[in-house]
Structure 1
């Protein structure tokens, strides 16, 4: 590796340690996303695509470790009940909900990226704007009545 190559691989802080690029979890998520795109391109009608994508989401949730699965099942039920215009689909191997093919919100399990908590995230397509700054992701450790109400309100607002 030349000095120029080494300089381009240093961390943002300027450390001399080489940056390794994507983590194994990030690479796996990108591979899953490529497989999702390939599978989606083979589907025929829109109704068939949506039905198969929804089944893929349910299957992916069923594969999750118990703690993540319980949260993902609740989020899935809340989103589909409160924003029926959103179509479930896999996005980087995680449950997501799209409007006209564009992801509005998604669930990211804690186990996927070995994090302390699961995440409910919203893309820039979500209509959640509040002034100059607003949250676009929420940490989830449990879904109680209060959290359920907040998620329901957020997804209804996201598609309004």
Structure 2
């Protein structure tokens, strides 16, 4: 019987995401905490998105830039993300098309200050960037960095 490898449980998309993340980490280590390098990587990631996901990433980017300018743009498994001063991701967009899901997700990592008792949401499904979505995301990002 052949010995199982650690990658047998991963789909081709998951393996590609792991490889992308390793590439990102090497590039980020070379660039340090450079806002310019991070901004370029995020803008490049947004430019590569499918038409359904691009407006969502552009909207999130605009909100973070305006509401949380101290967050540093950086990619996160190839996805647009924004990190705190320690380089840890606070908020990111998981595109629908990249993972073949019916909606994109705006996710918040544990560094986000969204705590609300013992139970609170950290991921939000989004299918279109509308004024009401922008308003809610603005409130969430503002709270996340408060």
| Same fold at TM > 0.5 | yes
Question: Residues of 2 paired with 1:43 and 1:68: CA distance?
Answer: 27
Aligned to 2:60: 75
Answering whether residue 83 of structure 2 is matched by residue 95 of structure 1, we say no
Structure 2, unaligned stretches of length 5 or more? none
Root mean square deviation, CA, Å: 1.9
Question: Residues of 2 paired with 1:104 and 1:75: CA distance?
Answer: 13
Answering whether residue 110 of structure 2 is matched by residue 110 of structure 1, we say no
Aligned to 1:149: 135
Between 1:133-142 and 1:20-29, the stretch displaced more is 20-29
Structure 1, unaligned stretches of length 5 or more? 7-19
Could you give the per-residue CA deviations for residues 91-116 of structure 1, whole angstroms, max 9, x where no partner exists?
A: 10000000020100100100111100
Question: Residues of 2 paired with 1:29 and 1:80: CA distance?
Answer: 26
Residue aligned with 2:97, SS: coil
* Larger of the two Rg values belongs to structure: 1
Between 1:21-30 and 1:132-141, the stretch displaced more is 21-30
Aligned to 1:9: none
Could you give the per-residue CA deviations for residues 27-75 of structure 1, whole angstroms, max 9, x where no partner exists?
A: 111111100111112226x4xx220111110111011111111111111
> What TM-score do the two structures reach when normalised by structure 1?
0.84
Aligned residues between the structures: 144
Aligned to 2:23: 35
Residue aligned with 1:129, SS: coil
Could you give the per-residue CA deviations for residues 98-146 of structure 1, whole angstroms, max 9, x where no partner exists?
A: 0020100100100111100000000011000001110010000011111
Residue 24 of structure 1: CA displacement?
Answer: 1.3
Residue aligned with 1:139, SS: strand
Tell me which stretches of 4 or more aligned residues in structure 1 moved more than 2 Å.
Answer: none
